[in-house]
Amino acid sequence: MTSPIDRIRPAATTARQVSDLAVAFGLTIAPGHAADATVTCVASDNRVAQPGDLFVALPGARAHGAQFAADAVGRGATAILTDARGAELIGPGSTTPVIVADDPRAILGQVAAWVLGNPAEDLMTFGVTGTNGKTTTTYQLDHLLRALGWIGGLIGTVETRSGDRVIASTLTTPEAADLQALLAAMREDHVRTLAMEVSSHALAQHRVDGIVFGVAGFTNLTQDHLDFHGDFESYFATKADLFTPARARRGVVTVDDAWGDRMANEAQIPVATLTTLPGKAADWVVTDVAPHGTGSAFTLTHHDGRTLRTSTSLPGGYNVANAALAVAMVLEGGSDIRDVTEALAAADGLSATVPGRMEVLATAPRVVVDFAHNTEALELALAALRPTTAGRLAVVFGATGDRDPGKRPFMGAAAVRGADVVYVTDDDPHDEDPAKVRTEVLAGTGVAAPGGTVETVDDDGSRTVEVHEVAPRADAIRTAILAAGPDDTVLVAGRGHETIQEIAGVDHVLDDRVEARAALAARGA
């Protein structure tokens, strides 16, 4: 995991005067402090403050950032932006200017962009939101944009890329000051395009303020993060904020569910709609989906007659939707369909490898690691693997502690509907009792006790599903892989690319892919 000290900053900056900043944003400089100074970058974490920084001291849940202002100044910060309470905590008599704002968090993104010369304006920007598919779609976007000849940037859950530089990510969407510094560094790397995940947390917490995306994309909306948002209406409203003039110029909305229909209808910017559903009307329509290698080939057609055929190397209908969204966003961004068709043909379709997203580690048995960590994502992943599994389909998964407990029994039920063998284990327990979380997941499976079976019925008839409880997670992965036959598939779901498991406040090294490979080695696969 990247530490706060690993923040990416531009090598060159533009000097800005604090007095000009105050005028630009209608702010005041607190009396009893220096009246002016020069700032060159912005930091909201005192540990990353460097000479010339504007330190933004924000109120927090446990402490006010102003309590760390002296440390930031000691590291070289030349000015402080805070609220009235922060100014009180700093007190008078400082030789460092203290700028006061009613809500400094709400203007942090715009301030950082202003200080750094609005770096997003020098990039062709694509922002993707939705519950599932953000990471995959941004990787496919980056893959296509690079195939078109652009020097690309990518920001998301797994990693950040600036041209050929790869940096580990700590948040799906970085904090506002860090994001603007990163964009300025990308500008120095001659990056011309940016594919970026935009989480609901980032929208609610003003992290993407200071960027107006050229094209915004929407994947879907399912139950997740309700511990943060409270209910679906609030969750939807936060996502919908991306489709406003303050956030984006135009959008592409997948309308394969009712939330997509609503997003398209309520968007405050011009949007094109996209569907993979047969017979449904939309601006972009996916048809003629057929198996192609490990994934699918498909045709994408616009109502004006433009059409192309390409493929994705990732399995499942939902990955067709992700790939089609990436292509449609690039086309709505102004690329010519002939250029896109040629680029896709030269690049063997949308063949980007996405770490921890339907990542195949072995074929006999087939072992797949995926980030599916909510009910619908788990259902879709299992449904994608079922048609190509000759033997039994097993799933190893858990639910996250301290997060949205309401989805736990639904995940258990989804696992039983989709798999032949279910191993309930731990995800990230955080500060919650892991056994309690597992019990709540198991409640949805319908078994009287772990180690039992349950009957389920689907389109192929009735099935007897085994349900096991195995912890810790590494043991569950090993148990599932050692028990699998050569024609079986084992899906290890929930954590994907993640390498740290938090238990009772302690970080433990745990990579599902490493554990799976060790189990495969133990069986000689």
Residues 6+ positions from 494 with CB-CB distance below 8 Å: 371, 372, 373, 397, 398, 399, 400, 427
pLDDT of residue 93: 81
Stretch(es) of the chain classified as CATH 3.40.1390.10: 4-115
Average pLDDT over the chain reads: 92
User: Which residue would you say has higher pLDDT here, 449 or 214?
Assistant: 214
Tokens (6 digits) for 130:
């939705």
How many CB atoms lie under 10 A from the CB of residue 453? 15
Checking if the pLDDT of 372 tops 60, the result is: yes
Q: Cα–Cα distances in Å, from 330 out to 10, 110, 126, 194, 323?
A: 27, 26, 8, 11, 11
CATH class of 119-346: alpha beta
Give 401's pLDDT tier (boundaries 50, 70, 90).
Answer: very high
> Would you tell me which CATH number, out of the four given (3.90.190.20, 3.40.50.2000, 3.40.50.970, 2.60.40.420), belongs to the domain 359-522?
3.90.190.20
Span 12-44, pLDDT tens digits: 888 999 999 999 999 999 998 998 999 999 999
Residue 3: per-residue pLDDT: 38
Q: What is the pLDDT of residues 408-437, one digit of tens each?
A: 999 999 999 999 999 999 999 999 999 999
Q: Which class is 4-115 in CATH?
A: alpha beta
Where in the sequence of the chain do the CATH 3.90.190.20 domains occur? 359-522
Tell me how far CA of residue 403 lies from CA of 237, 349, 399, 400, 412, in angstroms: 20, 37, 8, 6, 16
* 105 CB-near residues (< 8 Å, 6+ apart): 58, 59, 205, 206
Residues 285-322 pLDDT 10s: 999 999 998 789 999 999 999 999 999 988 888 899 99
What's the pTM?
0.83
How do residues 173-193 score in pLDDT, each as one tens digit?
Answer: 789 999 999 999 999 999 999
Find out whether the peptide bond into 92 is cis, omega within 30 degrees of 0: no
Domain with CATH 3.40.1190.10 in the chain: 119-346
pLDDT digits (tens, 9 = 90+) for 235-293: 899 999 999 999 999 999 999 999 999 999 999 999 999 999 999 999 999 999 999 98
Instruction: Looking at mean pLDDT, say which of 149-163, 444-458, 476-490 comes out highest.
Output: 476-490
User: What single string gives the DSSP state of each residue in 105-168?
Assistant: HHHHHHHHHHHTT-GGGGSEEEEEESSSSHHHHHHHHHHHHHHTT--EEEESSSEEEETTEEEE
* pLDDT at residue 164 is higher than 50: yes
- For the stretch 39-94, pLDDT in tens is 999 999 999 999 999 999 999 989 999 999 999 999 999 999 999 999 999 998 88
